[in-house]
Amino acid sequence: MLHVPALEAHASELEARVGIPRDRWFTGEYTPDPEMPGGGSLRTRVVDGACVFRDRSGRGCHVHAYSLERGIDYHTLKPIIDCLFPLTFSEGVLYPADEVDDGTLVCLDTGPTLYRGVREELGYYFGEGLLHALDAVEARSAAVPSEGT
């Protein structure tokens, strides 16, 4: 929930960009979670089947693009769960988000592995130790021949 006050500090500019009034950005449902920075999260609203901050005229996240355009570290405005997507975590376990498992992730199988796609974010939040461990897992899996070969 640390990101809500940071977003509110940029609310006028973001409101104009997003096209949705700031009082409609969040559901008001706070979920306590000791694994989340700040101890929990406040859900964003879903509008037309997607996050209120999704760029409907293009691709991606308005908050992310806004941050990059203004030279703001997007980690200050976006929660960890958004930065790690399409990976997520719960009870100390890192795993693919539901959109990967159910096949609805639009960019699935069009780029690097899920790990490679968010490796930098994992390092930012969890440190070099985790990256070394995951790099080792990646190297071992690459060395294992796939079925049918």
Judgement on whether residues 27 and 67 belong to the same structural domain of the protein: yes
52 and 105 housed in the same domain = no
Q: Work out the average pLDDT over 8-27.
A: 94
36 and 74 inside one domain = yes
Mean pLDDT of 65-82: 94
pTM of the model: 0.81
Instruction: Decide: 38 and 2 in contact? Cβ < 8 Å.
Output: yes
Both 121 and 148 in one domain: the answer is yes
Name the domain boundary from 34, 63, 78: 78
Q: How confident is the model at residue 97 (pLDDT cuts 50, 70, 90)?
A: confident
Last residue of a domain, one of 29, 49, 78: 78
List, as one string, the DSSP characters of 59-112. SSBHHHHHHHHHT--GGGTS-HHHHHTTEEEETTEEEE-HHHHTT--TTTTSSS
pLDDT single digits (tens) 76-87: 999 888 899 889
118-143 average pLDDT score: 93
User: Span 136-142, mean pLDDT?
Assistant: 90
Please report how many Cα atoms fall inside a 13 Å half-sphere around the Cα of residue 98, on the Cβ side: 1
The reply to whether 21 and 59 lie within a common domain is yes
pLDDT of residue 146: 63
| Structure confidence at residue 3 as a pLDDT band (50, 70, 90) | confident
Domain identity same for 62 and 98: no
Instruction: Tally the domains of the chain.
Output: 2
User: Residue 4 has what pLDDT?
Assistant: 86
Domain boundary among 24, 48, 78: 78
Residue-level pLDDT at 1:
58
Same domain, 72 and 89: no
Residue span of the structural domain in which 130 resides? 85-149
Residues 90 and 37 in one domain: no
Is the same domain home to 2 and 70?
yes
My answer on whether 2 and 65 are in the same domain is: yes
Q: Do 70 and 101 fall within a single domain?
A: no
Range name among 14-18, 20-24, 38-42, 143-147 with the lowest pLDDT average: 143-147
Q: Work out the pLDDT band at 106, boundaries 50, 70, 90.
A: low
